Chain A
């Protein structure tokens, strides 16, 4: 009997194709929205996670100050070169410790100029940031010790200032310092936060201190633990060492922060997942609205088909059979809408993820859930009109014009 109802439902749907399509439009849009939102969201999450992982999964960020209400990071004193030396010397399981000091400056070469952030650091920076040189070389020990004005530039800087011309060996003006270009970094592209990672200039820390910053402060340090090291232990070691060096009495709060890259990845992924859920929920509301659309049209359909229902009752259909017919019709309609919606949603997700350059993770769970939900919508919102149809008085229904 159920199979028979499905056949009857398909017949009824076929008999009024346009209305059937308009009926399920709400479901199509709802399901497509859910699928597209969630798939795009998952793709973005995967992209953020993999990007952050690219920065090095056993990376720790150390910066002075504390974040949070009532804590001004500016009050905390900066690190100095001896702090970096101490970390290198005393921490176990550490591969590299890169000092980082940055300032936004103007670069000039010939007639071209550009505002870029210049970073004062040393060769450990290449390790912690996973940077590879596309051309030229990194800093020599002598250059680092003497603070020579030599710089390694990113691809964007190279392209914008030098164009097709050879950059290595040329002198670039950084702020008011003439600086020899000794190396070019391999392109990394955009970061997850939308900044151009290749728009950068690196120079020896001492050159930066003396010629650009005018002080000896180190803004922060990047610490790279050896593979397989327990980063939380390394984090604790760094905290102990810095508390000692910065004379923080027991019981007092740290005036610096050590953040584990893994935690940052988790936080970022968590935030992205939450946003995905939120978008999905909004889309689910539209699915609900689509369900109300189905109920609306089914009610109209019942009124319009009153005579048909009367005929069916007269030839011996029982209430349950009419109920089943209309219910199945609503469910078949909404499942049909769900199917089209899934395909449409995946299509949209494929287009958008391609445009954003993020992966397209097709999650069968969400497809099944959205599809199942559309069927549920059919049952819930089809029941009331179906019951109304089943309870019609055959005499009245047959008389209906």
Chain B
């Protein structure tokens, strides 16, 4: 494994990466020879109309999907052709997911939800509980560890989901419309939390959104249209 975080090796690199669904005349090029580079510590918003390929890009970034052609290098290592078991190991080790619909396990307490990724890492129970409690504290949910999702507000549920994503100290946090199901004030809270995690703890954040207000929190906005990157805009840190 090469050095981490040097300018020479980007955290993530797409090189002429394509993803084609279907075959023959019905084939759809969801991603069409995309070149993209993400460095450690960045906060990126991915925007674009539906069908532009941003979700496909996220799935490939998150090792949930594999490219049809081209290269996907993670810390300089080509991982585009790995089998499902190895991709599961990568997700476990390096990637944290936050979804629009929170995707918490129902009837399961916040702390148990946060422990979930640690279970698959084989962490002992006491250590798991300890780390999960810490993660919940980091997202401002101290005291609510025993609540089930049904007993929490949408914003709090998304905080639990973020705690679950960061409990493993991932290299990158992938957020797919994290504020899509939240009202404006809760959305701001969540965005502030993501910004704090990015700046305070150096977690790389890649977020898909279609709301310009939310994209405004990011330092860099990549816009997809028809499976290609239309614009890639560095803004510097938002005020």
Contact = CB atoms under 8 A, between A and B. Distances in A.
Interface of A: 1, 4, 8, 11, 15-16, 307-308, 310-321, 394-395, 398
A248 B89 CA distance: 91
Q: Is the interface of A mostly helix, strand, loop or mixed?
A: helix
Given A307-B103, A311-B105, A318 B85 contact: yes
A317 B85 CA distance: 9
Contact of A310 (B93, B103, B117): B103
Contacts of B99: 398
B120 A321 contact: yes
B64 A311 contact: no
Interface in B96-143: 97, 99, 103-108, 112, 116-117, 119-122
A16 B95 CA distance: 31
A314 B62 contact: yes
B29 interface: no
A395 B65 contact: yes
Contacts of B65: 395
B108 A4 contact: no
A1 B117 CA distance: 13
B163 to A, nearest CB: 12
B85 A1 contact: no
A346 to B, nearest CB: 34
B166 to A, nearest CB: 12
Contacts of B121: 316
Contact of A316 (B103, B107, B112, B117): B117
Contact of A317 (B88, B103, B105): B88
B119 A318 contact: no
Contacts of A320: 85
Given A310-B103, A311-B116, A395-B64, A316 B122 contact: no
Given A314-B97, A315-B117, A317-B88, 16 more contacts: A4-B122, A15-B108, A307-B103, A311-B105, A315-B92, A315-B120, A316-B88, A316-B91, A316-B117, A316-B120, A317-B120, A318-B84, A318-B120, A319-B88, A395-B64, A398-B99
A353 to B, nearest CB: 43
A315 B85 contact: no
B54 interface: no
Contacts of B119: 4, 8
A21 B64 CA distance: 35
A314 to B, nearest CB: 5
A317 B103 CA distance: 15
A311 B99 CA distance: 10
Contacts of B93: 316
B231 to A, nearest CB: 26
Interface centre among B62, B88, B106 (most CB of A within 10 A): B88
Contacts of A398: 99, 103
B64 A318 contact: no
B164 interface: yes
Contacts of B85: 318-320
A367 to B, nearest CB: 33
Nearest to A316: B92
Nearest to A310: B103
A318 B86 CA distance: 8
Interface of B: 59, 62, 64-65, 84-85, 88-89, 91-93, 95, 97, 99, 103-108, 112, 116-117, 119-122, 164, 168
A317 B97 CA distance: 13
B89 to A, nearest CB: 7
B214 to A, nearest CB: 21
A13 B104 CA distance: 18
A18 B74 CA distance: 46
B91 A314 contact: yes
Nearest to A5: B119
B84 A319 contact: yes
Given A15-B107, A311-B103, A316 B64 contact: no
Most chain A beta carbons < 10 A, residue from B65, B105, B122, B164: B105
A318 B87 CA distance: 9
B17 to A, nearest CB: 17
B108 A394 contact: no
Contact of A318 (B62, B88, B116): B88
B207 to A, nearest CB: 16
Contacts of B122: 1, 4
Nearest to B112: A11
Given A311-B116, A394-B64, A395-B64, A316 B89 contact: yes
5 contacts: A15-B107, A16-B107, A316-B92, A316-B121, A318-B88
Contacts of B97: 314-315
A395 B59 contact: yes
Contacts of A311: 103-105, 116
Contacts of B91: 314-316
A316 to B, nearest CB: 3
A320 to B, nearest CB: 8
B164 A315 contact: yes
Contacts of B116: 311-312, 315
Contact of B108 (A11, A307, A313, A316): A11
Contacts of B168: 316
A308 B122 CA distance: 19
A315 B99 CA distance: 12
Contacts of A314: 62, 64, 91, 97, 103
A207 to B, nearest CB: 85
